[in-house]
């Protein structure tokens, strides 16, 4: 028996704002939103024929999602799990870091040295993530 990876859950104060921030950061879309959950996923990209009436329909995303759920307490310690983001090969890591800082991210120190090839940032609610060197 195996398990399917369904989602990563992020505890948040403002689930709508966090969901939108991460969706824009990743180029994803809000797939579901309620008062107690916001789920984001990559935007659907394929259309196909085959509905009972022959009309085209959009294939949904079936991979892991990111879900934001409300919690009353704030973040107090370093994350035990974090997301690594990587610019595409040929893109500029420094430009991506500056784009994220302009959108509300902040630099974060978790003990990394000055010669690391990644940059540690925190989202608007303080959750750390890394921006790696470009790769595909």
Among residues 2, 3, 30, 4, the alpha carbon closest in space to that of 18 is found at 30
Can you tell me the mean pLDDT for 35-57?
71
Compute the distance between CA of residue 131 and CA of residue 99 in angstroms, rounded to an integer: 11
Domain 1-72 is found in CATH 3.30.720.120: yes
pLDDT at 51 over 70: no
| pLDDT of res. 77 | 86
Q: What is the pLDDT of residues 83-99, one digit of tens each?
A: 999 999 999 999 999 99
Residue extent(s) of CATH 3.10.180.10 domains in the chain = 81-136
| pLDDT of res. 14 | 96
Compute the distance between CA of residue 55 and CA of residue 106 in angstroms, rounded to an integer: 46
Which fold is adopted by the domain 81-136? 2,3-Dihydroxybiphenyl 1,2-Dioxygenase; domain 1 (3.10.180)
Q: What is the pLDDT of residues 61-87, one digit of tens each?
A: 667 899 999 999 888 888 888 999 999
Compute the distance between CA of residue 72 and CA of residue 77 in angstroms, rounded to an integer: 15
Give the percent of the chain with pLDDT over 70: 87
Can you tell me the mean pLDDT for 49-58?
54
| pLDDT of res. 53 | 57
Q: Is 94 helix (H, G, I), strand (E, B) or coil?
A: helix
Q: Which two tokens stand for residue 46?
A: 């394929």
pLDDT at 110 over 90: no
Residue extent(s) of CATH 3.30.720.120 domains in the chain = 1-72
Is the separation of the CB atoms in 69 and 11 below 8 Å?
yes
Q: Indicate yes or no: pTM above 0.75.
A: yes
Q: Is 102 helix (H, G, I), strand (E, B) or coil?
A: helix
CA dihedral (85, 90, 91, 93) in degrees, to 10, reads 60
pLDDT at 60 over 80: no
């Amino acid at each position: 028996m195996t398990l399917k990876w369904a989602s990563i859950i992020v505890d948040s104060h403002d689930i709508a704002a966090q969901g939108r921030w991460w969706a824009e950061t990743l180029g994803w879309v809000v797939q579901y939103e309620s008062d107690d959950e916001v789920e984001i996923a990559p935007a659907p990209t394929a259309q196909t024929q085959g509905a009972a009436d022959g009309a085209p329909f959009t294939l949904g995303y079936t991979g892991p999602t990111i879900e934001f759920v409300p919690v009353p307490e704030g973040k107090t310690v370093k994350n035990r799990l974090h997301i690594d983001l990587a610019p595409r090969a040929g893109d500029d890591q420094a430009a991506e870091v500056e784009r994220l800082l302009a959108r509300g991210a902040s630099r974060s120190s978790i003990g990394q040295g000055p010669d690391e090839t990644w940059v540690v940032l925190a989202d608007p609610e303080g959750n750390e993530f890394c921006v790696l060197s470009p790769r595909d």
